Amino acid sequence: NANLKWRLDFDGLEKGDRWSNPLMGWQSTSDAMAPVRLDFASKEDAVHFAEKQGWGHFIQEPNFRQIKPKSYKNNFVYRAGKLPFVHTK
């Protein structure tokens, strides 16, 4: 897919240094790399960058779904053969 972008995310700290801010209700963290995401044009670029920095990495391939287009009008289209039996009550 030409529009596919690869993203490098950082794992959180092992201790899970997060706390709730009672005034605003936000989650806070002491991990400076938590909000950082790096985008790359290809998987090879992302892997090369991680290896160049000496970072361990794993690749999670995208999961594509095939979405079948639906239309409300198809409920009323005539189809040859047995007529569907619709229960109303």
Per-residue pLDDT of the chain (89 residues; tens, 9 = 90+): 566 788 888 776 666 677 787 888 787 777 777 778 889 998 899 899 989 999 888 888 888 888 888 898 887 887 787 777 778 77
pLDDT of residue 2: 60
Give the other-Cβ count within 10 Å of 86's Cβ: 6
Sequence-separated contacts (24+) of 61-65 with Cβ below 8 Å: 62/4
